[in-house]
Amino acid sequence: MKQLNIRYLCTQKNVEARLWRHFGKRYQLEAFDKHMSDYTSIDAMLIVEPVRVKGHYLSVYEVWKLFLARQSPKTKLLIAGFTVNTHPNFINLLNLHDKYDLKKAIDKANPCHKNWDEGQVGNGYGKVSTKLQMFFKGHNYNSIIGAASKVRQMLNNVDLSLHGSESLKREKEDFKTIWENLLWPKRNYFRSFYSRWYNYRDYFDCMPFFSQMEAVKAHGFINELQEFLNGKKELEAKILAEKEQQYRRMDPFSRIGEIIQVFRQIDAKYIAPNSIGNILLIDDDPHFHHQLKENLTSFSFNSLYTVEAAKNITVKEPIHLILLDLELNKEKGIFSGLDLISELKHRFPDTPLSVVSVAEEREIIELAIVEEGADFYLSKSLYDAEKWTTLFIHLLTNRRFSLGEILIFNQTQKIEEKPYILVVEDEKDWYDRIAELSPDYMFKQAHTIQQASDMLRSGVYDLVLLDLYFVIEGERKIEGLPFVRNIKFNYPDIPLIVVSAETSPEIMKEVHANGADRYLSKATFDAREWLEILNVFINLKQARDQTKIV
């Protein structure tokens, strides 16, 4: 018989010894490891409250309940303590004995995704969520995200000066000027951010989402940036050269953006969850589902992936907004989702419906809005979490948009004389950096491999820039490598440049073996050099096309 797999969180050594004495031989018992990222193999998480953090005794179970409900709903949560409590998820440690049936306690415990209505589990101690709310919201609403955003704005200005920008007409500046005029005078921005992080970071050690902070190397990066910004205003040439090299290696603008995104997700999901509305997303791309759920944290999502599932949907809770992909069934036609619009509008007449699609032709947008009755149309290549959140709120509050407003939002007036570049990249900072290389090109973003495949099939592009790594279910995976061969097989005339932070010689060799025309390292990003390379391949593509016409 398989032993139950149980993890425990206990900061009291004598109580920990007691757990091992009663349960160690009969169950697979292991201490909580803050580096864990996957809890799905665990039968139960046992938390002995209160938990001691930074000299405070705190209750942590509420945050754990929210986390397990989202990430591992089959894992039960048990709270243990020395008080009398009749809640089915509570274990009175005074009642433990050698034959205590922990399996029975787990079986009768409420799942984390259900409301716990049968009594108060708490023990009168303060809550870790209160501490973390102070971290995220701050004193007088001076939030950690606000402080980090100030740092990011400063670093954005530094990057523009370091790399230059054709579209913004910014010339490159030497690092001495950047250090003395941009970095050193604004170092207090970072000190405010660092102070907040330093005072609260230990509270994350007993949290299940510590691994998310670890994935973006938050602690190490913040300390490194603090060390980097130390120093006098006027530095010797050798020290300046070392700092420039360190800055380029750190890529702090991108890194601070990743940390802000993780902060926002943790706050919205587990510390101060507040769903504005329930969205029904009908799309056959699971990565797109994951992308919206991870980034549009103000909403809750129900996911459907096929036409059949959409036709047979059973509504268990109110739906406030419907998002519908048009390319649901590739075998029955590229726009098979069009037929669903009128059917869904008939079934949910008071619920706004927006199309989400890679198709950007004006005729398709007009057909979806005017003929079929959709309320809005969103181009996936123009995805922007903040803009989409604002738009969804407008739709939820019954704001209606004219066809002209929708066309302007989607920028459907194609400038035919400009070459089109498809950038397959899920990091907004990197897409923005690439898209501002030159105003002479039209850049389109694909956030997932499937989205890129749909866009290539339905559009005409002069160049593809492809990242190798994409976030899949919280982990960065090398999804782009197999897609290199796919692009070169199906679209041999389109130049393909792989753009990645990967520096492994084996990976670079495989990229070229699969047919990529060029490999650019993000670590050595240089705006002028990259633009020159883009120009070369665009000119090559246009020359080939002209030869074919002749």
Confidence of residue 550 (pLDDT cuts 50, 70, 90): very low
Section 289-308 average pLDDT? 86
Q: What is the pLDDT of residue 118?
A: 47
Q: What is the pTM of this model?
A: 0.68
Report how far residue 531's alpha carbon sits from residue 377's, in angstroms, rounded to the nearest whole number. Answer: 32
Q: What is the pLDDT of residue 15?
A: 93
Q: Between 128-137 and 144-163, two packed helices, what is the crossing angle to 10 degrees?
A: 40
Nearest to 7 by CA among 102, 99, 88: 102
Confidence of residue 143 (pLDDT cuts 50, 70, 90): confident
Average pLDDT, the chain: 86
Q: What is the pLDDT of residue 223?
A: 92
The secondary structure of 437-489 as a DSSP string is: S-TTSEEEEE-SHHHHHHHHHHS--SEEEE-S-EEETTEEE--HHHHHHHHHH
* Angle at the Cα of 261 from the Cα atoms of 504 and 140, rounded to 5 degrees: 145
Q: How far apart are the first and last CA of the chain?
A: 75
Q: Which segment of 2-11, 115-124, 200-209, 224-233 scores lowest on mean pLDDT?
A: 115-124
Nearest to 133 by CA among 214, 223, 226, 58: 58
Q: Residue 416 above 70 pLDDT?
A: no
Q: Residue 97 above 90 pLDDT?
A: no
Q: What is the pLDDT of residue 139?
A: 58
Q: What is the pLDDT of residue 120?
A: 62
Residue 171's alpha-carbon distances to 58, 442, 453, in angstroms, are 53, 22, 36
**Can you name the residues that pair with 470 across neighbouring β-strands?**
477
Q: Residue 334 above 70 pLDDT?
A: no
Neighbours of 24 (CB within 10 A): 11
Q: Residue 122 above 80 pLDDT?
A: no
Q: Residue 412 above 50 pLDDT?
A: no
Run of H or E residues at 152: helix 144-163
Q: Residue 138 above 80 pLDDT?
A: no
Section 467-495 average pLDDT? 86
Section 81-101 average pLDDT? 87
Section 206-230 average pLDDT? 92
Rounded percentage of the chain residues whose pLDDT exceeds 70: 93
Whether the link from the prior residue into 88 is cis, omega within 30° of 0, is no
Nearest to 90 by CA among 106, 78, 99, 102: 78
CA 229 from centroid of its chain's CA atoms:
28
Half-sphere exposure of 172 (CA within 13 A, CB side): 8
Q: What is the pLDDT of residue 332?
A: 52
The string of pLDDT tens digits covering residues 355-402 is 999 888 888 999 999 999 999 999 998 888 878 988 898 898 788 888
Q: What is the pLDDT of residue 413?
A: 47
Report how far residue 175's alpha carbon sits from residue 161's, in angstroms, rounded to the nearest whole number. Answer: 9
Section 213-238 average pLDDT? 91
Q: What is the pLDDT of residue 547?
A: 63
Say which residue, 477 or 461, is predicted with more confidence. Answer: 461
